Every structure is written in C-alpha cells, then in structure tokens.
Amino acid sequence: MSTPKHPDAQVASPYGYDFWNWLAREDPEYVRARQPLSALSIGDGKELPIKHREMVIIGILCYRGREDGVVAHMRRAIQHGATKRELLEAVYSAAVPGGGPTLSAGVKALMQLDTEGAFKK
C-alpha cells in the first residue's frame, strides 16, 4: 500500500517510489540535500534529452534486474516522448553486454506497460 506523497519526495524523485515518502518523513534534510544532484542527473535543460537519460537508466536497471525501477523509468521516458519501439531498442542495446536476464527484465516491463495501455495506439 502506498503512503501519501511528501512534497520533498516528489521533488527528489519523479518516479513515485514509496521509499522516498518514508525517507522524506524520516530525514527531510537528506532528501533536500540530494535534490541538486538529482536535478543535475535527471533534470531538464541539458544536452541529452530526458527520454535519452531515462533510457540509460533503464539499461542499468534492466541489468540489475530491478523491474519495478525499469517500469517507473519507462513511464517517465514515455512522458518525455519515448515510443514503445525506442524503449524496446534500448532494452536490446542493454541486453548485448547484459545478457538474457537484462533482456527479460526490460521486456517484462514493456509487457506490463503495454497491458496497462501506456502506449497510445
């Protein structure tokens, strides 16, 4: 069950991870201190568009088998214009060095999002 979002948690992580809600309540100072790093890493206004930054993150999370993270970051990439095919190709790219488990994590995340209707027909 998810808890109400804390304002600092949303700023620190646009992905809706429940652990940020808990952490923001337990240590809001840490969450505030981490915000500038997050903004530099995943924020707007850089040379590399957000959807491409998300694809890098997706590849790493696929490799690490973090399917919940893959889904969350794919959602954000979609919000920033990524297509199903672009995400699939990002998963393929990550699977070359990462192997079958990387491919599996990425395809399972895409299947979930496809079932949920995340991609406009």
Helix (H, G, I), strand (E, B) or coil at 47: coil
pTM of the model: 0.79
In the DSSP assignment, the letter for residue 3 is P
Q: How many other C-beta atoms lie within 10 A of the C-beta of residue 61?
A: 23
* Domains of the chain by residue range: 7-42, 50-116
CATH architecture under which domain 50-116 falls: Up-down Bundle (1.20)
Helix (H, G, I), strand (E, B) or coil at 118: coil
Calpha distance 115→109 (Å, rounded): 10
Give, for all 121 residues of the chain, the pLDDT tens digit. 333 444 444 444 667 778 888 898 999 999 899 888 888 888 777 789 999 999 999 999 999 999 999 999 999 999 999 999 999 999 999 999 999 999 999 999 999 999 999 998 6
Supply 75's token pair: 């959602």
